[in-house]
Chain A
Amino acid sequence: MSPLAALLLRDMRIAVRVGGGALIGVLFFLAVVSVTPFAVGPDLALLKRIGPAILWLAALLASLLALDRLFASDHEDGSLDLILTGRAPLELVVAAKGIAHWLTTALPLVVAAPLIALLLDLDGSAEAGLVLTLLVGTPALTFIGLIGAAIAVTLRRGGLLLAIIVLPLTVPVLIFGVAAANAAIAGPVPFGTPFTVLCALTLASLVIGPFAAAAALRLDME
Chain B
Amino acid sequence: MRVAELANPSRFLRAANLAIPWLGGATVLLFAFALYRAMLAPDDYQQGATVKIMFLHVPSAWLGMLCWALMTVAALGTLVWRHPLADVAAKAAAPLGAAFTLLCLVTGSLWGRPEWGTYWVWDARLTSELILFLLYLSVIALWRTVEDASRAARAVAILTIVGAIDLPIVKFSVDWWNTLHQGASVFRLGGSTIHPAILAPLLLMAAAFTLLFMTLLLAAMRNEILRRRVRTLRLLQASAAG
Q: Hey, which bits of chain A sit against chain B, CB under 8 A?
A: 19-21, 23-24, 27, 30-31, 34, 37, 42, 44, 47, 118-121, 123
Chain B residues with CB below 8 A from A119, complex form: 119-120, 130
Binary flags per residue of B120-158, CB closer than 8 Å to A gives 1, else 0: 111100010011001001101100110000000000000
Distance between Cα atoms of A24 and B143 in the complex (Å) = 12
CB distance from A220 to the nearest CB of B (A): 28
Binding site for A on B (CB under 8 A): 109, 118-123, 127, 130-131, 134, 137-138, 140-141, 144-145
Query: What DSSP secondary structure best describes chain B's contact surface?
Result: helix
| CB atoms of B145 and A20 under 8 A apart | yes
A27 touches B121 (CB 8 A): no
Query: How far apart are B144's CB and chain A's nearest CB, in angstroms?
Result: 5
Q: Is the CB of B137 within 8 A of A27?
A: yes
A31 and B121 CA atoms in complex are apart in Å by 16
Closest CB-CB distance, A207 to chain B, in whole Å?
35
Instruction: Give Cα A121–Cα B121 distance, bound, in whole angstroms.
Output: 8
**Interchain pairs with CB closer than 8 A, number:** 44
Give CA–CA (A27, B127) in the complex, Å: 16
Considering the complex of A and B, which 6 residue pairs feature the smallest CB-CB distances, nearest first? Answer: A42-B122, A20-B141, A37-B122, A19-B145, A118-B119, A119-B120
A42 and B123 contact, CB distance less than 8 A:
yes
Scoring A19, A21, A118, A119 by chain B CB atoms within 10 A of each residue's CB, the highest score goes to A119
Q: Are A121 and B134 in contact (CB under 8 A)?
A: no
Identify B144's interface contact among A20, A42, A120, A121, CB under 8 A: A20
User: With A and B bound together, what is the CA distance between A78 and B120 in angstroms?
Assistant: 49
Q: Which chain B positions have C-beta within 8 A of A20?
A: 140-141, 144-145
B109 touches A118 (CB 8 A): yes
B145 A121 Cβ-Cβ under 8 A: no
Q: Are A121 and B120 in contact (CB under 8 A)?
A: yes
Distance in Å from the Cβ of A15 to the closest Cβ of chain B?
13
16 sampled A-B residue pairs with Cβ under 8 A? A19-B145, A20-B144, A20-B145, A23-B141, A24-B145, A30-B134, A31-B134, A34-B134, A42-B121, A42-B122, A42-B127, A47-B122, A118-B120, A119-B119, A120-B120, A121-B118
